[in-house]
Amino acid sequence: MNKISNFRRNRCSAANLALGSIAVAACVAATPVFAAWEPAKPVEFIVPAGTGGGADQMARLIQGIVIKHKLMKEPLIVVNKSGGAGAEGFLDVKAAKGDPYKIVITLSNLFTTPMATGVPFNWKDMTPVSMMALDQFVLWTNAEAPYKTAREYIAAVKAAGPNKFRMGGTGSKQEDQILTVGLEKATGTKFIYIPFKGGGEVAVQLVGKHIDSTVNNPIEAVAQWRAGKLVAQCVFDEQRMPYKAKITATQSWNDVPTCKEAGVPTSYQMLRGIFMPAGVSKDQLEFYVSLLKKVRETQDWKDFMENGAFNQTSMSGAEFTKWLEGAEATHHELMKEAGFLAK
């Protein structure tokens, strides 16, 4: 590798002498591209969740964007390894130390699965590549229920007493339940938490009034919201969502108050990030960081972000590592308080 780049540099300096300033610009631009590492065979893109879910959708979108905009010579192949709440996928990446032909998309199960099940892996067993976005959570209620604000709803839950109102969510001891416990702690309420297999199913159960509320991600419930079946009470973030285009007849995502404004001081976002196995070279890491940056710059990506009302925070490198440390500590704290840690 070194030899080749040295050779290129030499050739460029020769060209500089001969052709002057135009060639200088060309060489400056060309050198990093030619010298950098590039995949020489197809790359496996692991989704530690089932087909059709949020992580899977994002992975397949990235795969589609890479193909459509020809961002990579070799194809990206999406593989679902959802066993054991995603542990299967993460263990696979952990075992592939030094393999640059594997990347994995994460959701909160990156933190929660090892904590809840005791399966031995940690994000530190992998190389963080970049944060693609943060997924929001919204408190939803049925449109035919009388609650106009989150405050009213919580007051009703409190008045009814513990174990009367039913909160539906995806999976057990994962993000939806953690958030529910956080909400209970912050407001002194107690829900019956009912775990379902997928977010879309949860939204429909709410429309059918089999449960009283959910903490669905925006993309999971937006269709029912637009149809006037559900009410978005508040978003579990410090700031409101920035998207001002009208989604329903009267409301945009930006019109949904934060839960803090609504008197429910709870906040939680879910990481949508990309990792590689440990022990990869700096060149290899750089390749994926810049590939994902190009993905985020496409219009398809921006449309997807807006459709799903994502929090478009993205980061990589030391900043991302620091964020991960903080998030891990937060999850540990939340899981511990909720009594979800594996014994």
**Where do contacts with another protein occur on this chain (CB under 8 A)?**
50-52, 56-57, 60-61, 63-65, 67-68, 78-85, 87-88, 91, 116-117, 119, 163, 166, 171-174, 177, 192-198, 200-201, 203-205, 207-208, 210-211, 219, 222-224, 226-227, 229, 300, 303-304, 307, 340
- Exposure string (b/e) for 115-137, b if CB count within 10 Å is 16 or more? bbeebebebebbbbbbbbbbbbb
Indicate the residue among 329 and 341 with the shorter CB distance to another protein: 341
Shortest Cβ distance from residue 39 to another protein (Å)? Answer: 17
- 236: which DSSP letter? S
Backbone torsion region of residue 190, taken as left when φ is above 0, otherwise alpha when ψ lies between -120 and 50, otherwise beta: beta
Indicate the residue among 193 and 287 with the shorter CB distance to another protein: 193
Indicate the residue among 28 and 341 with the shorter CB distance to another protein: 341
Indicate the residue among 142 and 233 with the shorter CB distance to another protein: 142
Shortest Cβ distance from residue 64 to another protein (Å)? Answer: 4
Please name which of 299, 318, 153, 339 lies closest in space to residue 230, comparing C-alpha atoms.
Answer: 153
Shortest Cβ distance from residue 316 to another protein (Å)? Answer: 24
Indicate the residue among 186 and 192 with the shorter CB distance to another protein: 192
Shortest Cβ distance from residue 268 to another protein (Å)? Answer: 17
Indicate the residue among 72 and 264 with the shorter CB distance to another protein: 72
- 142: which DSSP letter? E
In angstroms, rounded to a whole number, what is the distance separating the alpha carbons of residues 117 and 84? 9
Please name which of 250, 254, 234, 252 lies closest in space to residue 242, comparing C-alpha atoms.
Answer: 254
Order the strands of the 43-47 sheet from edge to edge.
76-80, 43-47, 102-106, 270-277, 126-135, 315-316
Shortest Cβ distance from residue 228 to another protein (Å)? Answer: 8
Indicate the residue among 105 and 264 with the shorter CB distance to another protein: 105
In angstroms, rounded to a whole number, what is the distance separating the alpha carbons of residues 94 and 168? 32
- Exposure string (b/e) for 209-241, b if CB count within 10 Å is 16 or more? eebbbbbbbbbbbbebbeeebbbbbbbbbeebb
Shortest Cβ distance from residue 213 to another protein (Å)? Answer: 14
- The DSSP element (H or E) to which 277 belongs, if any, is strand 270-277
Shortest Cβ distance from residue 237 to another protein (Å)? Answer: 22
